[in-house]
Each structure stands twice: as structure tokens, then as C-alpha cells.
Amino acid sequence: MADGMFGLSERTARETAPVWEKVKDHVTPIEWPSQAELIVEINRLKKERDAVILAHNYMTPEIFHGVGDYVGDSLGLAKEAARSNAKVIVQAGVHFMAETSKILSPDKTVLIPDLKAGCSLAEAITGADVRLIKQRYPGLPVVTYVNTTADVKAETDICCTSANAVQVVEWAAKEWGVDKVILIPDEFLARNVAAQTNIGIIAWKGRCIVHERFTGADIAEMRAAYPGAEILAHPECPEDVLSAADFAGSTAAMTDYVMAKKPKQVVLITECSMASNIKGDVPEVNFIGPCNMCPYMKRITLENIRDCLLNMEYEVTVPEEMIAKAALAVQRMIDLPPPAVPARYDMVKAKHHVAVELI
Ligand code: SF4
């Protein structure tokens, strides 16, 4: 029966009205009816399958606000994967995130809607590479960004995310009694962390294809065009971008900043969906470009989430012996006391003289 808004049945219109309020700046009235039907179908399938959907901050708004049971950054989602009682986890994110969920919840069925949802950083390094690095730097702890495959995590002492990387590096140096730490695979994250600590950093040449494309010149242009706007950058960006920004931090830290300060105009130097998703909760804030799209994250759609739950595919598995080793590294990170607020990268006090050894 089509007697609700947009020709939807009254029930579908009622169930999806709160979602529409959050996505209406990004979804057209022409697109909405089919998306609303999919949202209702996915939420019904979740109950039937005893499933939860973990949706990363870079998912499109209709996924983020419409079907995500837990939303957030890599660290937050990894913790939710472990806490959840559901039998099935659907990772609305990329493959390494699904592997991390499997590592933390080996008894649950972990599904990803598209196996090609990869990550340039995760693909930049293998477990064999890490074994060679360890041979070259014996005795140094290996801190690995969570954006890595399970076989890399299995060779790792402790994982980190951009929200806790400085804290983890300093913890590892203290635990191992050393003044240098291997921090892989993101070169820019490593350089930005090095600027925040006295611990020496050995880095790898991995890059995020979304964040490496921003430049200091982009920030200068934005400042000239929008003098009142506050500029927030992700630590996977090059150092000159962070230095020119007003604030630098993980997606969780950026969200907290915008929610707390509600600046009139803000620029988020990160993946495009970040701004669209926060905008749903703070409509009074004016979000200005530029942003870059992650082609891997954008492989996840409402359609393939629905198919994933209908067909119970694609299941993500990790060999048992790899799970045991990788879980140690992820759990060590989770067990560290959480920072009171997600760490910010203070580029005003940055130690730009710190040399990073690039392998
Ligand atoms: S945004 Fe960058 S780090 Fe995140 S999944 Fe895409 S390529 Fe990987």
C-alpha cells in the first residue's frame, strides 16, 4: 500500500522517517523510496539472522544512519565486535576490519558484502615483509596499524589505530625498554606520530590513497576561500597538511571536535562520507569540501548488505593459528587504558626535527 511519504507504505515511511531526517541532504527524494525499502528489509533480516552491522565512519549516510548497529572508527568497531552477543557480524567496512572482527570473535560468523572492499594500506605489506623487518631490527617492538591483514597482525607485538598510536608507541618502548619502535605500514601516520613523541620510529612506505592526495596547498586554498572555517585533518595525511590544519586526529577525534565545538564552518580533510554522516547530527554546521572518496569503502552498498544477509556471504575466515597470534596484538591494544578523549595530534608542539627511518 503506497500511502506514506514518497509513495512508501505507511509502515515503511514511519519506520524510516528518523533516518530520512538525517540523510535528506545527501539522498534525493527520487533515490529515497528504494533505499527506505532496503533499510526496512535489512533491519528485518538482521533480526532473523541474529546479526549486527558494524558500520565504519566512511560508509555512505544511508548505511551509517539506516542500518549500522554500531558506528565509529576502526578501534570502536573492533571493540564492539568483541562485545556483541550476536551470532553474525556484517562488516560494513573493508576486509581488514572484517578480519579483525573474526580475530576478536572467532566463534561468530563474520560476513563482508563485497570481498573486493580492500585497502591500499593493508595491501602495502605482508607477514613475510614483517618477518624480514624483525630480522633487520631484532629486539625492537613491532607496532602495526590496525589497517593490515591478519597475517601481518600475527607477526605484530601490538596494534594501534590513529586514535591511540602515540600512546601505543610510548607503551611499547617502555615495555621493551628501548628508545625506538617499528611502526608500520603507514608512512605518514608514522611521521605524524614521530612528531608527537621522543621515541624513534622506523616506518614503512605504505600509503592511504585517500589521505596521501591532500596537500598543504589544498589547505592554503581553503583558508583563502573560507577564512572563518576550521580545518580538521586525519593523521594519514602528509605532515604539511597536519601542520596547516587547526586540529588533527582520528575520525573519532574529529567527530568529538565537531560535536563539542559546533563550528559555523568546518573542513574535514578525510574521506567524503565523514562530513555527510556527522552532518546528520549537527545540521547547523556548514561542512565545506574538499574531500576524497575511498573506492574500497564505496563498494559497500545497501543492496550488497541485503544480499549478504540473504545469502549469508561472503564469509571472512582466518586460520586458527593466525587468529591466536593476531589476537594477542589486537587484545594488547584494547587492554590499554583508553585515552580520556581520542588523542589529537598537536602540530604546534610537533617535533619536526625527529628523523623517521624509512625502510
Ligand atoms: S580510506 Fe584509506 S586507509 Fe581507509 S580503507 Fe580506504 S584506502 Fe584504506
Q: What is the DSSP annotation of 100-130?
A: HHHHH-TTSEEE-S-TT---TTGGG--HHHH
Q: Specify the amino acid at residue 32.
A: W
Q: What is the pLDDT along the chain (359 residues), one digit of tens a residue?
A: 456 678 899 999 999 999 999 999 889 999 999 999 999 999 999 999 999 999 999 999 999 999 999 998 877 887 888 888 999 999 999 999 999 999 999 999 999 999 999 999 999 999 999 999 999 999 999 999 999 999 999 999 999 998 899 999 999 999 999 999 999 999 999 999 999 999 999 999 999 999 999 999 999 999 999 999 999 999 999 999 999 999 999 888 899 999 999 999 999 999 999 999 998 889 999 999 878 999 999 999 999 999 999 999 999 999 999 999 999 999 999 999 876 666 678 776 676 656 678 88
Bridge partners for 142 per DSSP: 182
Q: Which triple of cell numbers denotes residue 41?
A: 528489509
Bridge partners for 344 per DSSP: 249
Distance 189 CA to ligand 1 centre (A): 13
Distance 270 CA to ligand 1 centre (A): 10
Q: Give the integer Cα–Cα distance in Å for 244 and 260.
A: 21
Task: List domains and CATH numbers for the chain.
Answer: 5-119+297-311 (3.40.50.10800), 122-207+320-341+353-358 (3.40.50.10800), 216-288 (3.40.50.10800)
- Which residue out of 208, 293, 298 has the highest number of ligand 1 atoms within 8 Å of its CB and is therefore the one to mutate? 208
CB count in 10 Å sphere of residue 6: 17
Distance 92 CA to ligand 1 centre (A): 13
227: nearest Cα among 216, 217, 219, 237: 219
- Which residue out of 57, 74, 184, 209 has the highest number of ligand 1 atoms within 8 Å of its CB and is therefore the one to mutate? 209
Ligand 1 atom with the shortest distance to the CA of 294: 6
